[in-house]
Amino acid sequence: MTQKVRITSWNINSVRARIGIVEEFLKKESPDILCLQETKVADDLFPRAMFEQLGYVHMAINGQKMHHGVATLSKIALTDIEKFDWQANGEARHIGVALPNGARLENVYIPAGGDIADRDENPKFGQKLDFFGRMIQWSKTIDKPTIVTGDFNVAPLPSDVWNHKQLLKVVSHTPIEVDIMDALKAAGNWTDVGRKFIKDPERLFTWWSYRAKDWRASDRGRRLDHMWITPDLLSKVLSHEVSEYCRDWEKPSDHIPITSEFAF
């Protein structure tokens, strides 16, 4: 029997500060699974009650005080929870679970990488590249149908940013980041679900800076949030959508939700 499952990923930029818009989104869209990044809360303070009231009673949480943090909230049972330290310093940037059909769902928050695209001048950029390197090695070992989603902090294609030439030296769109992201994709033979359904060169953004007074008018966006699948899930994925309207909400995240639907 086929079961349709909708999976949403959203860098919420503090789940407690934005719990109101999370609730609004869940009531409006009702995905089966919500993967949050940058939750910015220790596990014992995570706001579980709202999720439980809306039916998201299965939770896999990896948080820390004030920074980073990921959480997967689900109406569907989650098992085999794993936490990988791809940052190699204990930061809470990954949570992985098994779904009832046997597929893995990996929720990841890749470091932003600072402002200078040089690992010698900027150690944060080196950490970002090394994070990708560890994900590349992991990708080579995958032996189950797998979805990896989250804030990758790289906009790989010219159509993934508002101005390709102007951003070539800006962290998140530099050639070295695009190259290592391509290496990650090749290592697991991943398919980029967003670009499977919204074809390049169509504009596709998921993040807009808070600095813009009118984000729609300037539309200086980047596609930093992604959902990838292994080849054995290609026949299972039905759709992909971005919820740009959430960027207009009161006290929004600078990211918007992305959602893919699967037939398992």
pLDDT digits 0-9 by tens, 2-42: 999 999 999 999 999 999 999 999 999 999 999 999 999 99
Strand order in 79-82's β-sheet? 79-82, 94-98, 104-109, 146-151, 225-229, 191-192
User: How many Å apart are CA 235 and CA 264, to the nearest integer?
Assistant: 10
User: How many Å apart are CA 249 and CA 154, to the nearest integer?
Assistant: 24
The number of domains in the chain is 1
Q: What is the mean pLDDT of the chain?
A: 97
- Reported confidence tier of residue 213, pLDDT bands at 50, 70, 90: confident
For 162, phi then psi, to 5°, come to: -70, -25
Which residue in 182, 177, 113, 185 sits closest to 148, CA to CA?
Answer: 185
> The domain containing residue 155 runs over which residues?
4-263
> What's the confidence (pLDDT) of residue 13?
98
Give mean pLDDT, residues 146-165.
98
- CA-atom Rg of the chain in angstroms: 17
Which residue in 14, 53, 9, 15 sits closest to 33, CA to CA?
Answer: 9
Residue range 32-81, pLDDT digits in tens: 999 999 999 999 999 999 999 999 999 999 999 999 999 999 999 999 99
CATH of the domain at 160: 3.60.10.10
Give mean pLDDT, residues 215-239.
98
Give mean pLDDT, residues 108-132.
97
> What's the confidence (pLDDT) of residue 121?
96
What is the β-pairing status of strands 221-222 and 146-151?
A: unpaired
Residue range 188-209, pLDDT digits in tens: 999 999 999 999 999 999 999 9
- Reported confidence tier of residue 174, pLDDT bands at 50, 70, 90: very high
- Reported confidence tier of residue 92, pLDDT bands at 50, 70, 90: very high
Q: Which amino acid is at 92?
A: A
> What's the confidence (pLDDT) of residue 1?
82
> What's the confidence (pLDDT) of residue 87?
97
